[in-house]
Amino acid sequence: MGAWALAAAMWAGGAAHAVDVPVSRGSYVLQAQQQGQGPVTVVFESGFGQGAGVWKPVIEGLGADCRCIAYSRAGIGPSGADGTEKSIAAHVADLVAVVDTLAPDTKIVVVGHSYGGLLVTEFARRYPERVQGLVLVDPATMGQRHAFRQADAARVQADDTALLAMLPPALGAEYRTLVAQLDAPAAAAPHAMPDVPVALLTTTQVAAEPFVFEETARGKALWKVQHAALFAGFSQGTHRYFATGHNLHREDPEAVVAAIREVVSVAQ
């Protein structure tokens, strides 16, 4: 947790030149954007608190190669909410609704950053028949909080307190719900991964003045261990490291575009 939640109130807008498509969830509506007419459908899942607009440079970099779908999760940007904090399972259910609405009966390549990386990994585990491939951009993992708390419980608690002081109330409530799930014993249990191509992109930059544990040298070392363990669960793909901060898709969108094209070429 922590670094991948820092952008909680940023980039909530939609992608330029995209066609807006509402996705009904009964008591609320998710706002999705669709762009491009390529033969492969790519669905994007953003980091904690981030909207669909964070993917704009990546989607524009793909051009006409893919049909791209991005959306804002409940309560983010133009998407509505029902006033309840969403669990991981509830967010995956919303992702399923987006896929069912915009890409029914179609296998997709799913791209996720940070918390979005955790969500698309869970989506792929639960619905492997829907997935052609995965691109995980500095993803959060189910077991990371256990590893971080074992290394420095006091620092993790201090980071939580600082982040909750920064987040708007609704996002703060979601953060508490997420932390409770990731701190539960079940989160540390091994999770079987689907047999699909994967590109895992890990950032390695240690902050000069770390705001959260993940930005420290010790935290970054554990982050790499978490990603290595995650990648070991897949039977095919690539794992690459980048000397950037956590938001690789904004600092180096070309690297994410290349990873998507690589997975698309293998999956076709």
Mean pLDDT in residue range 74-86: 95
Find tokens 């909530």 and name the residue: 12
Mean pLDDT in residue range 155-163: 97
Q: Coil, strand, or helix at residue 49?
A: coil
Q: Coil, strand, or helix at residue 119?
A: helix
Mean pLDDT in residue range 83-103: 97
Rounded distance between C-alpha atoms, residue 266 and residue 228, angstroms:
21
- Which range among 18-22, 144-148, 215-219 shows the weakest confidence by mean pLDDT? 18-22
The CATH superfamily label for domain 38-48+57-66+83-97+104-267 reads: Alpha/Beta hydrolase fold, catalytic domain (3.40.50.1820)
What per-residue confidence (pLDDT) applies to 190? 87
- The CA–CA distances, whole Å, from 62 to 28, 37, 127, 249, 258 equal 31, 11, 25, 13, 9
Would you list the DSSP string of 172-224? Answer: HHHHHHHHHHHHSGGGGS-----SS-EEEEEE-PPPSS-SSGGGSHHHHHHHH
What per-residue confidence (pLDDT) applies to 46? 98
Mean pLDDT in residue range 171-180: 96
> Would you place residue 2 in the very low, low, confident or very high pLDDT band (cuts 50, 70, 90)?
very low
What per-residue confidence (pLDDT) applies to 5? 43
**Domain boundary assignment for the chain:** 38-48+57-66+83-97+104-267
Q: Which two tokens stand for residue 198?
A: 């994967």
Q: Compute, in degrees rounded to 10, the torsion defined by CA atoms 259, 60, 68, 28.
A: 120
Q: For residues 113 and 47, is the Cβ–Cβ distance under 8 A?
A: yes
Rounded distance between C-alpha atoms, residue 183 and residue 261, angstroms:
35
What per-residue confidence (pLDDT) applies to 108? 97
Mean pLDDT in residue range 215-228: 97
DSSP 7: T
What per-residue confidence (pLDDT) applies to 163? 96
Q: Which two tokens stand for residue 212?
A: 């959260």
Mean pLDDT in residue range 138-151: 97
Percent of the chain with pLDDT over 90: 88
Mean pLDDT in residue range 162-169: 96
pLDDT per residue over 42-78, tens digit each? 999 999 999 999 999 999 999 988 999 999 999 999 9
What per-residue confidence (pLDDT) applies to 12? 34
Rounded distance between C-alpha atoms, residue 18 and residue 32, angstroms:
9
What per-residue confidence (pLDDT) applies to 10? 33
> Would you place residue 229 in the very low, low, confident or very high pLDDT band (cuts 50, 70, 90)?
very high
Provide the mean pLDDT of the chain: 92
Q: Which two tokens stand for residue 56?
A: 């704009």
Rounded distance between C-alpha atoms, residue 261 and residue 239, angstroms:
15
What per-residue confidence (pLDDT) applies to 14? 36
What per-residue confidence (pLDDT) applies to 37? 87
> Would you place residue 38 in the very low, low, confident or very high pLDDT band (cuts 50, 70, 90)?
confident
pTM recorded for the entire structure: 0.92
Rounded distance between C-alpha atoms, residue 261 and residue 120, angstroms:
18
- Asked if residue 11 has pLDDT above 70, the reply is no
Mean pLDDT in residue range 137-154: 97
What per-residue confidence (pLDDT) applies to 61? 95
All residues at 6 or more sequence positions from 259 whose CB lies less than 8 Å from its CB, including other chains: 135, 137, 199, 201, 238, 240
Mean pLDDT in residue range 13-24: 73
Helix 144-166 crosses helix 217-232 at what angle (to 10 degrees)?
Answer: 130
